Amino acid sequence: MRAKRIVILDWDTMAYNKEEANARRFAALAEHVDVYPSTKPEETIAHIGDADVVICNKVLITREVMEACPDIKYIGILATGYNNVDIEAATERGIPVCNAGSYSTDAVTQLVFAYIFDHFQRVSLYSMDVRLGAWETAPAFSYFPYPTGELRGKTLGIIGYGNIGKNVAKIADAFGMSVLIATRTQPENCPYPVVTAEEVFRRADVLTLHCPLTEQTKGLINKKSLALMKETAILINTSRGGTVVEEDLASALNHDMLAGAYLDVLEKEPMSPETPLKGAKNCVITPHIGWTPLETRKRLLDITEDNLHGWLGGNPQHVVNGI
């Protein structure tokens, strides 16, 4: 079985600078494939048109879009998160929504520890000082004005215990960190203490978010939760920007209520010049790169293609709405 028409709405999110990623791999699965580099909200309905298969990364597929495009029978997400799709509306219309599952587990875990190492080893600060000649004028063989620390014995608090959370916990354990887990459902055979989010806030030296953006997690990091944290703690967010109230985090950083924050996601992306976090103290922001290693994006495309193969063959997989 082949699809009638596949439309890919935001291919540039997968192939920055037109590099190796290739949308033609989907041509064998449909009579026709249309690929758009990007799609503005006002273009979505026109770009989808009579397509029965929609593939996108961040384009909003709302109830209005589905009502205006009644031929949609399948939505494939080029990501793990699927909060850009109105799941209730898709379910009502019998449209399976399939995401890419755990494609980015290793890549995001790698970024989390890059942040942790940067904070505790101060590599970037020391490298900058060396470039500026500070070591050349040091009074002793070793120059260490910035305090560093060992990971062993530090407490890592993880909110969300899916594939990424589990992988982060395993690596933290290997470094001798004490791991605490807060998650909405009690995990089976979890080797680490499962506690409330409030306890994680209070005890963590490093707090890292690995939860989806839901009504329950929206604004999870706010004035109240930040007030519970140690002044020496750092926050890491590689999940979704909406889990953080940016004004509250900026205030906490600027008033030394927190030692630092490392963020790969923001509420508005691309980053708004008006975000209060832009000039916040000890705030490191990267431009949503956790998922971008070449191997990771190839895996993402493989999973997306396999998902579509499965649906066309009557065996859908990675279906987030149970259809």
Whether 185 and 160 have beta carbons less than 8 Å apart is answered as: no
How many residues would you count in the chain?
A: 323
Q: What angle do CA 103, 105, 108 make, to 5 degrees?
A: 115
CA distances from 172 to 38, 154, 157, 167, 287 (A): 38, 9, 10, 9, 24
Among left, alpha and beta (phi > 0; psi -120 to 50; other), residue 17 is left
Give the residue numbers annotated as catalytic, written as ranges.
Answer: 240, 269, 288
3-state secondary structure of 202: helix
Nearest to 308 by CA among 16, 9, 27: 27
d(CA 288, CA 42): 24
CB atoms within 10 A of CB 198: 12
Q: Residues 74, 308: contact at Cβ < 8 Å?
A: yes
Pinpoint the alpha helices (H) of the chain.
Answer: 44-48, 63-68, 87-92, 105-121, 123-131, 163-174, 197-203, 223-228, 246-254, 294-312
Q: Is the peptide bond before 270 cis (omega within 30 degrees of 0)?
A: yes
Distance CA 268, CA 36 (A): 22
